[in-house]
Structure 1
Amino acid sequence: MAMLGRFALGFFLSCYLMISVSSLASPDEFLQCLSDKIPGELVYRQSSSSFADVLVSSIRFPNFFTNTTVRPLCIVTPTAACHVQAAVRCGRRQGVRLRVRSGGHDYEGLSYRSVRAEVFGVVDLARLRSITVDEHESTAWVDSGATVGELYYAIAKNNSQLAFPAGECPTLGVGGHFSGGGIGMLMRKYGLSVDNVLDAKLVNAEGELLDRAAMGEEHFWAIRGGGGGSFGIVVSWKIRLVTVPPTVTVFSIAKTVDQGAVDVVTRWQAVGPSLPDELTMRVKVQGQEAVFLAVYLGTCTSLVATMGRDFPELHMTSADCRPMTYLESTALSFTTLAKTGTPEEVLLNRSSSLGFSVKGKSDYVRQPISRDAWEDIFDWFKKNGSGLIMLEPHGGFIGRVSTAATPYPHRRGVLYVIQYLVFWPAAINGGTAQTWLDKFYDFMGRHVTTNPREAYVNFRDLDIGKNTVVDDVSTFESGKVWGERYFMGNYRRLARVKAAVDPTDYFRNEQSTPPLLHGRHN
């Protein structure tokens, strides 16, 4: 009752003070306010000689860094939570919205660019990257600007038998990754990243710094998988660490179409989600080949026995085993083989190349795709060598958690998630690659979930819908088009939380959760 009362009071006060942020935007006053409240070396205006370098510093996809990109008025690079608070308060006072970036792995670039012409600033959290591990309590505090590679490294250096469930790419920013759920190689054993978040420190739309107790359970629920850029700026997260053995076993086995890849992938659909929780086996399909990539929290001997019993079609043997520490496996799982430095050094590398542009999409599969369909899928890859799909198995722990436990709803009954990717050189037009992906995605529609056709918010895709803004607030109905695909039945609950904590829609982008405002035509 106390939380409901606080939400109601906050809602009515905010509605009473509601203003049109964009129509009253005062860029000069906003910049002056930042100068008064934040050290000058932490704020980069467009006129700054370093502005472009800071903007591009964690951009992963150059297709969102062009001459037509709507760029921010400035970039704030806070080194403390008080700088984030000051930026929000200045933005609210002067009518300038803020977007938040932690790692730049945003498939639509919404953390640092706008699709519409508008005045906005970016809060880049890259300098907020502290990690404090408490191995005795098996917990850690990690700032949103840290990467998952840095997190893995810091945990293992404190205790090599502790780890955390998160993604495969070391340069993922913690803030964005956690905000969408956080799938990875340990989720079948220990769940998503957000299933292991214990607390957080967040700057809300009023510029207040709140922990879990202060924000309340509904707000805390929303930030653990409800997507970044909607409910405030999370500056740090308290996480529960999990145990891993001193040595894990990995393998990578490739099968071409001539070697029976169609049959093996078809069979994998039933096997991957039902294997022991300690074993996660992803599949990369590209060209005429399927590559099976696995991490097993156990020995080679046990793994060979498990595979021989449950998945003999892959013909895995002890010769395929690669024993290593779990930390080493996190470096290898995405980069495969590092050409320079040790695996541990690879995890700390935050640099990025802008050589290739990327477009991504996603789907979820609840019923196995037929063998005939897989033959057709491999035929599609004959038409474009730059496209690939990654199949990430669910089941295990993640399948035993209620769909309402966090905003991430794709749990019980999900076999796997598909990530679609196409790449093209940054120097050329990507029309051909994107057209191929669009047609392939349309073809896949008959084989994946429907009503809604589920999608993963961390594989953000503006093709499935964008918000409509009326009276300077995103409408609930326009958000349903994409929101129910990302969040299913949790979308309405997220919109209610948004109405309680940010009814004026200050934290907004093209796919941020709109507020469900009673009495307003949405």
Structure 2
Amino acid sequence: MAASTSLALVLAVCCCCCYAASVAPLSSADSSGEFLQCLAAGVPSQLVVTRGSSSFASVLASSVRNPRFLAPGTVRPLCVVTPTNASHVQAAVLCGRRHGVRLRVRSGGHDYEGLSYRSVRQEVFAVVDLAGLRSVRVNRRAATAWVDSGATVGEMYYAVAKADAGLAFPAGLCPTIGVGGHFSGGGIGMMMRKYGLSVDNVLDAMVVDANGRLLDKKAMGRDYFWALRGGGGESFGIVLSWKVRLVAVPRTVTVFNIQKTLAQGAVDAVTKWQTLAPAALPDELTIRVVVQNKQALFQSLYLGTCDQLLPVMGSRFPELGMTRADCREMSWLQSMVYINGGTSSTPVEVLLNRTTSLSVYTKNKSDYVKQAIPSASWEKIFPWFDGAAGAGLIILEPHGGRVGSIADGNTPYPHRSGVLYNIQYVAFWPTTTATPAVPDWIKNVHAFMEPFVTSNPRDAYVNYRDLDIGENAVAGGVTSYENGRVWGEKYFGAANFRRLALTKGKVDASDYFRNEQSIPPLVSTK
């Protein structure tokens, strides 16, 4: 795995070159040229890729996961900065502030609306691509690791397990997700019922703030550190690295994939799963459900052996009909490959592959469920997922356990007490086919589900970003707090959103770090 310069080693040097940056008007063509000249003084030229470069298109596309945002007409950045140490990021912030060029930041490019590398409105901006900052430094003795934001989840899993097969980290399944974005929104995963979300296990962070200062947890203060752990990316600064608590896993875990058609009792199985999976199963056992083509796929990770799992499933979830033949025993690292579509023999090195296909367009939405949906309603829900309009599915992720026992305000992620599960809606269609009906289809499915999910507000998961629920408006040069509440309270709840906005008012009152769904600054009158 490529390693970056250790952020800890450059802390003292980088802090010496920081000063409070003035805020320039944003942004003119002249200031764009001045911005690039400023960058040249602090960042090696080969790390700044401008529109005029022959490699610009490939560098921009290197971390794009949804080709919808590479289409002609997309507002593209002035340049892409590819830093290899903290001083390069600081230089980008200081130059951007001085010359009125905003920065957008990406780590893995999985942002569902592409806001980490494109703008919805016409503006001059630059992208800071953290892919060059991706080292994972494991301390086996302390069971901790420093993970750079540009590392992917797959790279993190691989490095941790190779250092000690008895250690792991609770995070998502898709191996190409960038750690920076994943942690910034919470981090749902297959071990959250046992160990909580990713952010529940973050111990420290290194961030470049709006004044170009490099801060750790002690220097940034309590509210700032709280906001970084789930308050959404690109609002409070550029997080370069995260110190995380690693968790213990057995040398052998068990996984299974069991599919049920409607004729095989899929509706009854999903109906029971809703209350069973979050509350009536051991925290070591997570079963999620993927509904597609009018079938339900039950995917499980159990932190134990098949012999231990069989009696649990037989007594508590006989409707699934699990047998020993369904069990696959393997290492925890191999399970992350298997659940993501691999096999028992797929090399774990596939977790290090950072490339993804650009052959499919996608659109995503999300919901939370607190009251189980009746079986009669599930009979009406399943036909929506018959593959008729392109392709579509939902993924149901159980909460409860550790993630549900933590107070809603402990981190900005508020969807804890009383939540049964999260729903992710996914629509996808080939780039070679013009299928405008698919985005309409997912909106219609989402509208159909409204009676069954949370309301006032209808909660959503910030890591499944969705501009349909609202976009920022700017008033007086900064993002409007009242306008931001429309979407922000759905992601964070009213109390957490207000606290996030007050924190933003303290650390970035001029609203330099801003996008279409960034936290607005709210300055306290006390």
Aligned pairs for 1:44-55 within 5 A: 44-55=49-60
Aligned residue in 1 for 2:325? 319
Q: 1:284 aligns with which of 274, 281, 290?
A: 290
Report the equivalent of 1:26. Answer: 31
Which runs of structure 2 are paired with 1:87-102 in the superposition (5 Å)?
87-102=92-107
Q: Paired residue for 1:354, among 336, 354, 358?
A: 358
1:217 matched to 2:222? The reply is: yes
Match of 1:510 among 505, 516, 524: 516
Question: How many angstroms does 1:238 deviate by?
Answer: 0.4
Shift of 1:24: 9.3
Q: Percent identity?
A: 62
1-structure distance, mates of 2:230, 2:498: 14
The answer on whether the counterparts of 1:386 and 1:424 sit within 8 Å (CA) in structure 2 is yes
- Once the two structures are overlaid, the 10-residue window that deviates more, 329-338 or 178-187, is 329-338
Distance 1:103 1:337 in 2: 24
Tell me whether 299-308 or 116-125 shows the greater mean CA deviation.
299-308
Query: Equivalent residue for 2:199?
Result: 194
Per-residue displacement from partner, 1:24-51 (whole Å, max 9, x unpaired)?
Answer: 9710000000111100000000000000
How many residues align structurally?
504
Look up the match of 2:373.
Answer: 369
Q: Counterparts of 1:87-166 in structure 2 under 5 Å?
A: 87-166=92-171
- For 1:345, the equivalent position in structure 2 comes to 349
Q: Deviations over 1:259-309 (max 9, x none)?
A: 110111111101110211000101000012100000000111111111111
Letter in 2 for 1:360: N
Letter in structure 1 aligned against 2:121: R
Opposite residue 229 of structure 1, the aligned amino acid is E
| Aligned 8 A contact 1:20 1:472 in 2 | no
Query: How far apart, in 2, do the equivalents of 1:448 and 1:425 lie?
Result: 30
Residue 313 of structure 2 corresponds to 307
Q: State the match for 1:234 in structure 2.
A: 239
Quote the Cα distance in structure 2 between the aligned partners of 1:449 and 1:430.
Answer: 30
The structural deviation recorded for 1:97 is 0.3
CA–CA distance in structure 1, aligned partners of residues 347 and 233 of structure 2:
29
Structure-1 separation of matches of 2:434 and 2:101: 33
Q: Secondary structure at the match of 2:255?
A: strand
Is 1:67 paired with 2:72? yes
- TM superposition shift of 1:427: 2.4
Give the letter aligned to residue 515 of structure 1: P
C-alpha distance in 1, partners of 2:390/2:317?
29
- Give the secondary structure class of the aligned counterpart of 1:48: coil
The aligned counterpart of 1:78 is 83
Alpha-carbon RMSD across the aligned residues, in angstroms, is 1.5
Shift of 1:96: 0.4
1:427 corresponds to: 432
Matched, 1:181 2:179: no
Contact 1:287–1:385 (CA under 8 A) maintained in structure 2: no
Q: 1:378 aligns with which of 370, 376, 382?
A: 382
Tell me, what secondary structure is at the counterpart of 2:177? coil
Quote how far apart the aligned CAs of 1:22 are.
3.8
* Partners of 1:84 and 1:123 within 8 A in 2: yes
Q: Give the Cα separation in 2 of the matches to 1:188 and 1:24.
A: 51
Cα distance change on mapping 1:518 and 1:406 into 2, 3 Å = closer
Contact kept in structure 2, 1:365 and 1:416, CA below 8 Å:
yes
Given that residues 27 and 99 in structure 2 are in contact (C-alpha distance below 8 angstroms), is that contact kept between their aligned partners in structure 1?
Answer: no
Residue 490 in 1 paired to residue 496 in 2? yes
Question: Partner letter of residue 379 of structure 2?
Answer: E
Structure 1 stretch displaced more, 500-509 or 327-336: 327-336
Find 1:248's aligned residue among 244, 250, 253. Answer: 253
Q: Tell me which residue corresponds to 1:8.
A: none
DSSP-derived class of the 2:451 partner: coil
Deviations 1:358-417 (A, max 9, x none): 000000000001111101111212343500000000000001000000000000100000
Partner-residue secondary structure (3-state), 1:133: strand
Give the CA deviation at 1:17.
6.0
Q: Tell me the SS of whatever aligns to 1:446.
A: helix
Q: 2: CA distance between counterparts of 1:389 and 1:282?
A: 11
Report SS of the residue matched to 2:146.
Answer: strand
Cα distance in 1 for residues equivalent to 2:272 and 2:121: 45
Query: Match for 1:319: what amino acid?
Result: A
Q: Which amino acid aligns with 1:361?
A: K
Q: Does 1:412 align with 2:417?
A: yes
The residue number in structure 1 matching 2:9 is none
Q: Deviations over 1:63-83 (max 9, x none)?
A: 111111000000000000110
Answer yes or no: is the 8 Å Cα contact 1:25–1:95 preserved in 2: no
Show the counterpart of 1:479: 484
User: Which amino acid in 1 is paired with 2:327?
Assistant: C
5+ long unaligned stretches in structure 2: 1-18
Q: Deviations over 1:101-124 (max 9, x none)?
A: 000001000000000000000000
Contact 2:195 2:247 (8 Å CA) reproduced: yes
Report if aligned partners of 1:25, 1:119 keep a CA contact under 8 Å in 2. no
Find the counterpart in structure 2 of residue 258 from structure 1: 263
Hey, what's the Cα distance between the residues in 2 that align with 1:79 and 1:334?
30
**In structure 1, C-alpha distance between the alignment counterparts of 2:87 and 2:174, rounded to whole Å:** 30
Amino acid across the alignment from 2:142: E
CA contact (8 A) 1:227 1:458 kept: yes
Q: Which amino acid aligns with 1:222?
A: A
User: What letter corresponds to residue 306 of structure 1 in structure 2?
Assistant: V
| 1:336 Cα offset (Å) | 3.6
User: Quick one: distance in 1 between partners of 2:89 and 2:134?
Assistant: 14
Do residues 330 (structure 1) and 336 (structure 2) align?
yes
Give, in whole Å, the separation in 2 of the partners of 1:352 and 1:313.
36
Superimposed CA distance per residue, residues 169-189 of structure 1 (whole angstroms, 9 cap, x where no aligned partner): 000000000000001011000
* Cα distance in structure 2, aligned partners of 1:67 and 1:182: 32
Gaps (5+ residues) in structure 1? Answer: 1-12
Q: Cα distance, 1:337 vs. partner?
A: 3.6
The whole-number CA distance in structure 2 between the counterparts of 1:158 and 1:290 is: 36
